[in-house]
Homo-oligomer: A and B are copies of this chain.
Amino acid sequence: MSDQTRLAALRARMQETGTDLLALGPGPNMLWLAGFFPHPDERPCLLLVTADGAGFLMPALNAADSRARADLPMWTWADADGPGEALAQALADLRATTARKVAVDETMRADFALLLLDALPQAGHALAQDTLGALRLRKDAGEQDELRMNAAIDDAAVRAVLAAIRPGMTERELAAIAIQVFKDNGASALFTIVGAGANGSYPHHSTGETVIRDGDAVVIDLGARKGNFSSDITRMAVVGTPPADYDRVHATVEAAVQAALAAARPGVRACEVDRAARSVIEAAGYGEYFVHRTGHGMGLEGHEPPWITDTSQTILETGMVFSIEPGIYLPGRFGVRLEEVVILQEDGPEVLSGLPRDAHRA
């Protein structure tokens, strides 16, 4: 979609939801709508959209750069003055001072949102997810290609880590191998979780100096960004003899992935995909150790709707992109997570990774 097509679709959605004013900060939503965002810092910067107007509240030092990239009005403000007067003028010129419902970008800084809402005390507020967010759910062909390219790079990073893993290496050394692969492919690492042994039982373990030992199960969860989209994958390695129960836990998570992949079809509710994975894990007796949702959407943000949770009523549609990543976390012992990112096609999920999900044996 072009920027103009997107703006028209957004205004239709604003009308449907009774949203008088939408405010976006420098970040993924502004990127989606305007094709760029200025350098983000503590200076309030907002893209304001109404039914018939749009423009930027813009820090003066970013105005020249932004004018070269966007053909929209700008209300600029200088560091010495602060943004208050420029914002008041913008709201007046956009005839937004009487807005009854204002939707704010959920990802922007709290002080940006409060600056705006304090200037419109009569307005109720909502989040951008109901308007702009809804339009980002389905990815077009070009966006899908960018996601496939990112997934191929992520596969290369996992292959390199698995080829290198040996007892005596640290988590951080393994993460560095992935970071180098990302760099060699023109991508920037977003996260490189390597969780050895008991560390793997923390879903968001902070990769550190823990040394890989014989008998460790190792969670490897890697993601990077090239262009405007990113990647995300989790695979397992086992060094030497696996810990007791490892094979059964891994097989359970694998079955949960397969159940979720089988459930994910256009027209199905997101909670049914979560339920498919969760039921497998509960039936095996590990339900209390699956402490998170089955997956999250992925696009301009690494985590975005649709959320694949036990309660999400979102109807899945073609072009939606999300992860399927059930896990079992045994405190003090080990964790197992297997993660695929899929694009939902007419006939079911297209899995972006080409890597097997078996535990790599080192």
Interface residues of A (CB under 8 A from B): 25, 38-39, 41-42, 60-62, 64-65, 78-82, 104-114, 125, 127, 201-206, 274, 291-293, 303-304, 307, 309-311, 329, 331
CB contacts (< 8 Å) of A61 on chain B: these are: 203-204, 291-292
Closest Cβ neighbor of A329 among chain B residues: B64
CB contacts (< 8 Å) of A41 on chain B: these are: 303
- A109 to B128 CA separation, bound complex (whole angstroms): 13
The 4 closest A-B pairs by CB, nearest first: A80-B310, A79-B293, A110-B113, A106-B111
A284 vs chain B, min Cβ distance (A): 19
CB contacts (< 8 Å) of A64 on chain B: these are: 201-202, 329, 331
The answer to whether A114 and B111 touch across the interface, beta carbons within 8 angstroms, is no
A132 vs chain B, min Cβ distance (A): 14
- A108 to B111 CA separation, bound complex (whole angstroms): 8
Central interface residue in A42, A62, A125, A304, by most chain B CB within 10 Å = A42
The answer to whether A60 and B107 touch across the interface, beta carbons within 8 angstroms, is no
Interface class of chain A by DSSP: loop
The answer to whether B39 and A204 touch across the interface, beta carbons within 8 angstroms, is yes
A93 vs chain B, min Cβ distance (A): 22
CB contacts (< 8 Å) of A110 on chain B: these are: 25, 104-110, 112-113, 127
A61-B292, A65-B205 given; A80·B311 CB < 8 A: yes
Q: A60-B291, A64-B202 are in contact. List 6 more A-B contacts (CB 8 A).
A: A25-B110, A61-B203, A62-B202, A64-B201, A78-B292, A80-B274
- A42 to B107 CA separation, bound complex (whole angstroms): 8
The answer to whether A127 and B111 touch across the interface, beta carbons within 8 angstroms, is yes
- A133 to B303 CA separation, bound complex (whole angstroms): 30
Closest Cβ neighbor of A201 among chain B residues: B64
The answer to whether A38 and B78 touch across the interface, beta carbons within 8 angstroms, is no
A238 vs chain B, min Cβ distance (A): 22
CB contacts (< 8 Å) of A307 on chain B: these are: 79
Please tell me which one of the listed residues B81, B109, B329 contacts residue A108 in the complex, with CB atoms under 8 A apart: B109
- A310 to B80 CA separation, bound complex (whole angstroms): 5
A125-B114, A127-B111 given; A303·B42 CB < 8 A: yes
Closest Cβ neighbor of A42 among chain B residues: B303
A61-B292, A106-B110, A112-B110 given; A80·B202 CB < 8 A: no
A109-B110, A110-B106 given; A80·B293 CB < 8 A: yes
A104 vs chain B, min Cβ distance (A): 5
A230 vs chain B, min Cβ distance (A): 13
CB contacts (< 8 Å) of A206 on chain B: these are: 39, 65
The answer to whether B107 and A114 touch across the interface, beta carbons within 8 angstroms, is no
- A204 to B59 CA separation, bound complex (whole angstroms): 11
> Can you pick out 5 interface pairs between chain A and chain B where the beta carbons lie within 8 Å of each other?
A42-B304, A65-B205, A104-B110, A104-B114, A113-B114
- A64 to B329 CA separation, bound complex (whole angstroms): 10
A263 vs chain B, min Cβ distance (A): 16
Please tell me which one of the listed residues B62, B79, B310, B329 contacts residue A310 in the complex, with CB atoms under 8 A apart: B79
